[in-house]
């Protein structure tokens, strides 16, 4: 099939690479979000997908909005059979959905109908799921509600962050997306409507969602830290300033600390929760680089009775 691939961040690049490498399909063009300001100089930077497509000599389309008539006209001119999508980052209007004969097929990082929305992996980890995965489905006008072509499952490991899980799913999902394109082309796969039961939503994680509640059980604290790493970053307050918690581990045999209470050892920093303590491994003070939590604690000279939160 002739394909137009839509995607933007780094997590979409493995799927684009897999489609480029396929000997059954042609990636005729790529659609991605416009260049965005980044870094201290705030200069405009192309998306990872745009950079990869340009390296491969593939035409790159960067509409401000996918309903722009100039973009739609070019899409019709290319005449794709199908448009695979991975984390494109904009809602597609019906005028765009109607262009490819076989539709737009999204690779979504959850086992639909669970975790429909922008942050499925983060919500899965924060909810304590033991199994997650990826799904390919036919995009319709509803939110991630279209019929599903295929799925791949992945176990959530006890120390997985959302970044770890997204990396694994990006590669597992790339294979699934290519297999879905193959199956659509030869007619060996059919999209199956999602069940009405089991629907859960995964909206974008806000900064407030990432705030640690030290009165919650240690397992909840652990899930929030892992689910919000690397972005937006779990955080708390210390002496009125924000402190990001980059890594922490539950310590079930330490139950002597009140929620938020700190205990500094020679090489360790513990904080109490609503159940048992967690050990902070890496933290990041406001305006600083990440550092070992014990080093940070020595630097700020934590006084007896000081707490986080």
Cβ-contact 277, 263 below 8 angstroms: yes
Cβ-contact 84, 107 below 8 angstroms: yes
Cβ-contact 116, 202 below 8 angstroms: yes
210-228 core/surface letters (b: 16 or more CB in 10 A; e: else): bebebebebbbbbbbbbbb
Residue 299: is it exposed, middle or buried by C-beta count within 10 angstroms (0-12/13-18/19+)?
Answer: exposed
What tokens were used for 232? Answer: 């937006």
Answer yes or no: is 113 a known binding residue: yes
Answer yes or no: is 110 a known binding residue: yes
Answer yes or no: is 162 a known binding residue: no
Residues 6+ apart with CB under 8 A from 220: 213, 273, 274
Question: Chain centroid to CA 112: how far?
Answer: 15
Q: Is the peptide bond before 232 cis (omega within 30 degrees of 0)?
A: yes
Q: How many CB atoms lie within 10 A of CB 195?
A: 10
CA distance 265 to 300: 14
CA distance 97 to 105: 10
Cβ-contact 228, 234 below 8 angstroms: yes
CA distance 159 to 249: 8
What tokens were used for 285? Answer: 């003070």
Answer yes or no: is 111 a known binding residue: yes
- Known binding-site residue numbers for (6S)-5,6,7,8-tetrahydrofolate: 110-113
- Known binding-site residue numbers: 110-113
């Amino acid at each position: 099939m002739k394909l137009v691939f839509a995607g933007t961040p780094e997590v979409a690049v493995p799927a684009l690479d897999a489609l480029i490498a396929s000997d059954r399909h042609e990636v005729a063009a790529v659609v991605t979000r416009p260049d965005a300001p980044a870094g201290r100089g705030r200069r405009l930077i192309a998306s990872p997908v745009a950079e990869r497509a340009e390296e491969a000599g593939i035409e790159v389309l960067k509409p401000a909005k996918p309903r722009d008539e100039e973009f739609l006209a070019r899409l019709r001119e290319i005449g794709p059979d199908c448009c695979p999508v991975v984390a494109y980052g904009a809602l597609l209007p019906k005028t765009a959905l109607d262009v490819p004969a076989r539709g737009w097929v999204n690779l979504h990082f959850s086992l639909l109908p669970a975790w429909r929305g922008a942050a499925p992996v983060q919500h899965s980890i924060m909810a304590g799921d033991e199994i997650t995965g990826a799904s390919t489905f036919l995009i319709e006008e509803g939110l991630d509600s279209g019929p599903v072509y295929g799925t791949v499952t992945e176990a959530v490991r006890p120390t997985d962050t959302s970044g770890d899980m997204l990396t694994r799913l990006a590669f597992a999902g790339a294979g699934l997306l290519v297999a879905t394109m193959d199956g659509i082309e030869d007619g060996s796969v059919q999209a199956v409507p999602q069940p009405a039961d089991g629907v859960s939503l995964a909206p974008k994680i806000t900064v407030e969602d990432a705030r640690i509640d030290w009165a919650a059980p240690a397992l909840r604290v652990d899930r929030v830290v892992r689910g919000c790493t690397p972005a937006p970053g779990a955080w708390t307050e210390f002496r009125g300033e924000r402190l990001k918690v980059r890594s922490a581990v539950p310590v079930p045999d330490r139950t002597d600390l009140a929620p938020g209470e700190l205990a500094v050892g020679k090489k360790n920093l513990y904080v109490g929760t609503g159940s048992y303590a967690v050990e902070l491994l890496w933290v990041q003070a406001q305006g600083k680089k990440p550092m070992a939590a014990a080093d940070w604690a020595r630097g700020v000279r934590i006084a007896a009775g000081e707490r986080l939160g």
